[in-house]
Structure 1
Amino acid sequence: MSYDLAVWEGMQPAHDGEGGAVYEQLYEEYMEGEEIAPTPGILAYTEALAERWAVLTEGRASGWGSLLDDASGPMIYLTMPYGLAGELSVEAARLAAEHGLVCYDPQSEHLRPVHDD
C-alpha cells in the first residue's frame, strides 16, 4: 500500500475542488500522455527533496526510488511507502511550498499544506 502526492508548477488553486480539477487535467496530460522532460522547477524540487530525505535518514536510500521516473513536464507524482508517509508527505509539501509549487493529496482530495477556505 502506498501514499501518493502530486506536485506541480502553476497558480495555487483557490480551494480543494479547484485543486482536484487542475490535478486531474495535469495528470491526464502529463502522467498518462507522452512523457516530457521535467521542467527546471520540478528538477530543483526533486533535488531538494532527495537531499532532505538523506538528511532525515542519515543517508539511507529514500522510499521513492528514482524521483524523476514519475516526473513529466511541470508535474511530479510521488508514491511513497505508507509507513513512511507521515514524515515524507510533510517534507514533500513543505518543500513544494518553498519552491512555489502546488502540492495536492489525491487520496483525501485536499491541497497540502491544508488550504484554509
Structure 2
Amino acid sequence: MTLLVWEGKRPADDASAARYFTDLYDRYIDTEEPAVPPVEPIATCVAAPLLERWPDLTEDEGDSSPWSTGPLIGEAGGPLIYFPMRWSMAEEASAYAAEVAASMGLNCFDPQARKLRH
C-alpha cells in the first residue's frame, strides 16, 4: 500500500488530485534528474511525528516499522513524499500519516482508492 502527501493547493476533487499527484511524481520522484531535496513541511512531517512513532526501516531491529523502504525520507522530493507501507500495518500507518499531514496543512491522497484523504 502507498500513501501520497504533498504541499500545495488542495485539488478540487479526487480526479484532479490523481492528475496532480502524477505530475508531481513524474517531476520529483520518477525522474533521471538529480534529486530535489524535500521542502521543509515534508521533511518535518517525516522526521517528527512519523519516525518518532515508528522507526525507519533502516533502523528497525524489532520488525515494528510499517514502512516498506528506507530511509523513508528517500521517498521524498520537493513538495511530495510517497509512503510505501507493509500491508500488515498499512491501515494504522496510513490513518496516522493522513492525520499528521492534515494537521500540517498538507494534502494526502490514497492511490489505491484514488481518493483524497481528510
TM range (shorter): 0.7 to 0.9
Partner of 1:45: 45
Write out aligned runs for 1:17-96 (5 A). Answer: 17-33=15-31, 34=33, 35-47=35-47, 48-53=49-54, 61-64=64-67, 65-96=70-101
Q: Once superposed, what is the RMSD of the aligned Cα atoms?
A: 1.6
Q: Give me the identity figure in percent.
A: 41
Q: Stretches of 4+ moved more than 3 A in 1?
A: none
Report the number of matched residues.
107
Determine the C-alpha separation between the residues in 2 that align with 1:107 and 1:53: 23
C-alpha displacement of 1:76: 0.4
C-alpha displacement of 1:63: 2.6
Paired AA for residue 98 in structure 1: S
Contact 1:50 1:62 in 2 (8 A): no
Structure 2 spans left out of the alignment, 5+ residues: 56-61
Structure 1 spans left out of the alignment, 5+ residues: 55-59
C-alpha displacement of 1:51: 1.3
What is the TM-score of this pair, normalised by structure 1?
0.84
Partner of 1:57: none
